[in-house]
Amino acid sequence: MRFFEYEAREVVKRAGIPVTDYGFTTDAGEAKAIAERIGGPVVIKSQVLTGGRMKAGGVKFADTPEQAERDAADVLALEINGHMPRGVLVDPKASVKQEYYAGVVWDGTRKQPVMLFSDMGGIDIEEVAEQHPDHVGRRHFSNILPLSEFQAKQCIAQTGVTGSRLNKLVPILTRLARLFVDYDMTLAEINPLAEMEDGSFVALDAHMDMENEARPRQKALLKDLGVGDEETRQAREATEFELAGEAVDAQDHRGVAGNVTEFDGNLGLVIGAGGGSLTLFDAVRNAGGQPANYCEIGGNPSVAKACGLAKLVLSKPGVDKIAVMMSIVSNTRVDIVARGVIKACLELGYDPAEKITIFRIPGAWEEEGFKILDKYGVKYADRSVSLHEASRLAVEALAGTTHTNDPASGQ
Amino acid sequence: MRSDAIFIGIEVSDEIAGDAAAAARLEEVCPVDIYADAGGRVQIVDTNIDECVLCRLCIDATPPGTVKVHKLYDSGPDAVLSSDPAVA
């Protein structure tokens, strides 16, 4: 989940990293009051969860409190990339000598956080790594142990920064690394990290993304920041279809049947098993299919949950048929899922044999599941049929080209 | 008494249907709440019947042959779960 800048600044401030004397408001009149308190030129910054706000006119510079009020009113009414601002941040206009970049991101390949530092911070930081690689320092560090001062120095020194600037930057980087781990962030970025005319360093902007699954663990932080449970803070707001999927999964404690993401294809998917959903989703696309949704089912959900998920997917406009598939070998009971998806078809008034293109769940109680599928004439496959082959069969069945003597039909 | 859902049917003999101890035991052992103790009588919760995981705990908790679980999708010799030697 993403944080607004004013929230990210608060996180940075809590970590002991210097920030400016900023103020956040949703009211232009209050922006004027904040500017008066600051007592000098200010920057009015739109608080939106999207990039490119400077280029879109969401950042304005005001020399007087009156101008700050006018600019705040303009920025509050300005839509940026489809986002209306949460409010505006009123920030002192800083006398910056040089802009730096400091960030921590998760390296999925190394399975470790990596500290990034550049002495060429500011906008278009992405281009710095490509065009000036010698101005970017990198240092992986432990998930458990804090980033040491020595490691931070190594990272900074790669860019050629030395002396007192190096010494002043070290605690900022170690604290940023600490907050990344403590708050379950996937991104913690200060850009620009400004060296002021007086030689001090201040975080002028910050971006934070937190692991969504960490929300329960970070309740105290979220409460302090005023982030409600209803705020998903995803790249886009959840659709009604996706919210309905959450409701299906929440109906009881058994297993998982939800985590639905909506797509605009025509093949409904009831897929899962330990990351298998992603593989199956890709396999369907590789076979030329157009998934109507992503979802996750597994861990022995109740019949009611499997039924609820299948009904949801089958009821999605544009979905004609569904494919029920899990990956290699699953401990989820085949017969329970079979009952759920067949029940969904029956309760919606459909023939399960028509609506289910393929049922491929290699797992516990297979034989019992196959008896159920046989009774209702549903095509199924066991583990001898790869998930890629099963996906192809599903796509072909949707197109009406499946041959009845297909060895994987189970008939 | 007998109650059938889509996939599973539950049969409880009259012998224990009104037995308070059996009602309490069935409510306690069933992991998916198919049985309820309705004031000392066995009640079958229709909405939960298809959740049956075929664990046989209800069968083992009651006298032989008094509870049977019917697999309505199965026409073979394993279609009925029971501790009655004549059935199981």
For residue range A343-400, list pLDDT tens digits in order: 999 999 999 999 999 999 998 999 999 999 999 999 999 999 999 999 999 999 998 8
Residue A310: CA atoms inside 13 Å, Cβ hemisphere, count? Answer: 31
| Best A302, A303, A333 residue to mutate vs chain B (most B CBs within 10 Å) | A303
A304-326 pLDDT, tens digit each: 999 999 999 999 999 999 999 99
Pairwise CB contact (< 8 Å): B6 & A302? no
DSSP code per residue over A69-97: HHHHHHHHT--BTTB--S-EEEEE---EE
Residue A404's pLDDT is what? Answer: 42
Contact A342 B50 (CB under 8 A): no
* Burial A28-41, CB ≥16 within 10 A → b, else e: bebbbbbbeebeeb
Given B50, B74, B76, which is nearest A339 (Cβ)?
A: B50
CB distance A333–B74 less than 8 Å?
no
- Return the pLDDT at A407: 38
The DSSP line for A233-273 is: -SSSPPPHHHHHHHHHHTT-SSSEEEEEEE-S-SEEEEEES
The model's pTM: 0.67
Quick one: pLDDT band at residue A186, thresholds 50, 70, 90?
very high
CB contact under 8 A, B53 and A336: yes
Question: ipTM, 2 decimals?
Answer: 0.95
What is the tens place of the pLDDT at every residue in A63-79? 999 999 999 999 999 99
